[in-house]
Amino acid sequence: MKELKVSDLRKTYGEKTLFDQLSFLIHEKDRIGLIGVNGTGKSSLLRIIAGIDRGDGDGQSVFAAQDYRIGFLSQDNQLAEELSVVDALFQGTSPLIRIVRNYEKSLLALENNGGDAAVLKQYQAAEEAMNKADAWQTDTTAKIILQKLGISDLAQQVSQLSGGQKKRVSLAQVLIDAPDLLLLDEPTNHLDYDAIQWLEGYLKQYRGALMMVTHDRYFLDRVVNRIFELSFGKIHEYQGNYETYLHARAERERVEETQEDKRKQLYKHELAWIRTGAKARSTKQQARIDRFDDLKDNLNQVKRNGEVAIDVAAARLGKQVLELKDASYAIEALQLLQHFDLLIQSRERLGITGENGAGKSTLLNILAGRIELDAGQRVIGSTVKLAYYTQTNEAMDLEQRMIAYLQEAAEEVQKADGSQVSVAEMLEQFLFPRSMHGTKIGKLSGGEKRRLFLLKLLIGQPNVLLLDEPTNDLDIDTLTVLESYLESFPGAVITVSHDRYFLDKVATKLLIFEGHSVIESYYGSINDYLANQSNKGAEKEALGSLQQQESLSVEEVPTQVPEQKKKLSYMEQKEWATIEDDIADLEAKEEALTEEMNHQGADFTKLQQLQQEIADVQAQLSEKMDRWEYLSEFV
């Protein structure tokens, strides 16, 4: 069984200790969710395991076998801009991936220039290599991944892709490579619901190990079987999914608090004894004094990250808020809005979701007044004080210090109860200790910058919040508090998001962007909407099948019989030449796995793994047999 070991990992960043002698094992089939407050080093830990960064000191901290392969999906785009999509996708180190890349490139060349003898020769050589290495299954798996992630144009240059498209290509690349360990930093960003649901299933069945950072709590709940919580340089490990972790963490904290109380009570009792003038007149008394010293050193062991506190007043909001009347907007030939009407009321909780590139962020920009409509009217109330949390931080001077950045918005902040607090106190409530207030913005982690940006918006006391994918960079603890704040926020909240958990928490009405200016309104949760869509799809499929059967039963015999297939195509002939050998190999593999299973005894984990492998082989065998039956009709 392949494993990766991290031992005594240390890492400091300025005066902050990120990792204090971290040690843990990652086993095959582990599905690890890595969580923690922004700035605790989640992305840094992934980068160190991936071999991109190192811990402090000269010693090695990450240990694995020489042939252990690691795939890393970063939050930042790591793709070379000059590459084509096909080259970017098949950059894996395994020999099979290189063979598939050459084949796919040859296939593209053949499609574009099939009459060139050199191109044809190159394709034939690539096809021969595919047959020799039996790489067709790898190619098929790769194409399924591409189709599920919405990647179709392999000839396109990376430089021509949007940020979301680049993220999906990067995700596809690490999945296609199928390494022993997948390290995924926010893998669900820029994915639609169908792709997220497919990815959930794919990762649950993945043959290797997985460690991921994600804000998507539904995704965590459905995929992971271990949780690593980073806190004050240490890792707390939990078995189970996110829901199990919440219960286990609460119990751990309760036990720690109880033990801390007992230590304090004992310390108080022993301190009274010491103050009576106790001296080491005997070995027994000296031992008691030594225990007192140890007890004193071990007080205040319990450390808590604390919770982000959002307690900011909002300006009064009148009856009229925002309205779009007969609005139309297009980007070049793509119509995003067409005769669109939208009325935002004072306590609106609107979630905007749907297809990528369909105009969701554009709608927020129109509501914010940053984009002018092609036609129609935008009406904004006189009392509206709008704050726009964009997908990227705006106008942040990396040399500016944190407290100065906030003081641009206000020197003091009014709380919901009418009292005033300083900007420094607000920073502390947002988990920035006083020791950090003079820190330059450029020294902050990506998540810390986003939290600071959010704080600056809120201290301006807005009464209308526009939030564009707020879950992409905020940690789960901050999101939980933000959700609670939005629940009691006295103004209007309009959110663009693909995060199902967040939308379920903050939105009572949804706008579903389906593309080409088709926008559906839905009152209810996103999970209810997705369930309804799934049911509609099943009903439509069943109805279509029924109609087809009815049509066949009453249809007259056609006057012209379609031409029947008489022989196999060239590719089918090649398939027929090897299909019986393929079936024999699969049957032998099933037999070997069954034999191995019979000798496993009580190793339940291994038995489960073998059972899954047997089920996979049986599915492939059934597919091959069906294919053999079809091809044999034309031989």
Average pLDDT, the chain: 81
Contact 352, 420 (CB under 8 A): no
DSSP 8-state class, residue 157: B
Angle, helix 604-632 to helix 570-598, in steps of 10 degrees: 150
Q: pLDDT confidence of 604, banded at 50, 70, 90?
A: low
Q: pLDDT confidence of 88, banded at 50, 70, 90?
A: confident
pLDDT > 60? residue 559 = no
Distance CA 617, CA 142 (A): 19
| Token pair recorded at residue 419 | 């009292």
Cβ within 8 Å of residue 626, ≥6 positions away: none
Distance CA 5, CA 85 (A): 34
Cβ within 8 Å of residue 600, ≥6 positions away: 606, 607, 610
**Residues of the chain above pLDDT 70, percent:** 83
Half-sphere exposure of residue 446: CA atoms within 13 angstroms, side-chain side: 16
- Range with lowest mean pLDDT among 22-31, 208-217, 477-486, 569-578: 569-578
How many C-beta atoms surround the C-beta of residue 129 within 10 A?
A: 17
pLDDT > 80? residue 402 = yes
pLDDT > 60? residue 566 = no
Tokens 């002698």, residue located: 21
Q: What are the tens digits of pLDDT across the range 423-442? A: 888 888 777 878 888 888 88
What order do you get walking across the sheet with 334-344 strand by strand?
Answer: 334-344, 322-331, 375-380
Q: Are strands 209-213 and 349-354 parallel, antiparallel or unpaired?
A: unpaired
Determine the pLDDT at residue 557.
Answer: 40
Q: pLDDT confidence of 307, banded at 50, 70, 90?
A: low
Which residue from 208, 246, 210, 207 is spatially nearest to 225, judged by alpha carbons?
210
Determine the pLDDT at residue 155.
Answer: 78
Distance CA 471, CA 484 (A): 14
- Range with lowest mean pLDDT among 53-62, 384-393, 397-406, 545-554: 545-554
Which residue from 187, 188, 543, 136 is spatially nearest to 353, judged by alpha carbons?
188
Tokens 């009014």, residue located: 414
Determine the pLDDT at residue 226.
Answer: 92
- For residue 167, the SS3 value is helix
Distance CA 473, CA 520 (A): 28
Determine the pLDDT at residue 415.
Answer: 76
Distance CA 245, CA 237 (A): 9
Tokens 């067409």, residue located: 338
Determine the pLDDT at residue 212.
Answer: 94
Q: What are the tens digits of pLDDT across the range 221-253? A: 899 999 998 888 888 888 888 888 888 877 766
Alpha-carbon torsion 598, 599, 603, 607, what sign?
negative
Amino acid at 375: A
pLDDT > 80? residue 519 = yes
Amino acid at 48: I
Determine the pLDDT at residue 342.
Answer: 92
Which residue from 230, 213, 233 is spatially nearest to 16, judged by alpha carbons?
233
Distance CA 121, CA 123 (A): 5
Determine the pLDDT at residue 562.
Answer: 42
Determine the pLDDT at residue 392.
Answer: 77
Determine the pLDDT at residue 301.
Answer: 55
Q: pLDDT confidence of 563, banded at 50, 70, 90?
A: very low
Distance CA 125, CA 123 (A): 5
Any idea of the CA torsion for 497, 502, 506, 510, to the nearest 10 degrees? Answer: 40
Contact 441, 398 (CB under 8 A): yes
Q: What are phi and psi of 63, to 5 degrees?
A: -125, 130
Q: What are the tens digits of pLDDT across the range 359-380? A: 899 999 999 999 999 999 999 9
pLDDT > 80? residue 609 = no
Highest mean pLDDT among 3-12, 155-164, 435-444 belongs to 3-12
- For residue 98, the SS3 value is helix
pLDDT > 50? residue 217 = yes
Cβ within 8 Å of residue 633, ≥6 positions away: none
Determine the pLDDT at residue 67.
Answer: 86
| Token pair recorded at residue 459 | 């201290």
Determine the pLDDT at residue 33.
Answer: 93
Distance CA 238, CA 227 (A): 5
Mean pLDDT confidence for 190-218: 89
- Range with lowest mean pLDDT among 48-52, 170-174, 257-261, 343-347: 257-261
Alpha-carbon torsion 203, 208, 209, 210, what sign?
negative
* pTM of the entire predicted model: 0.69
Mean pLDDT confidence for 454-468: 89
Q: Are strands 226-231 and 31-35 parallel, antiparallel or unpaired?
A: parallel
Helix (H) or strand (E) holding 227, with range, is strand 226-231
pLDDT > 50? residue 555 = no
Distance CA 412, CA 531 (A): 47
Q: pLDDT confidence of 131, banded at 50, 70, 90?
A: confident
| Token pair recorded at residue 607 | 């038995």
Q: pLDDT confidence of 49, banded at 50, 70, 90?
A: very high
Mean pLDDT confidence for 28-44: 88
pLDDT > 70? residue 98 = yes
Determine the pLDDT at residue 224.
Answer: 92
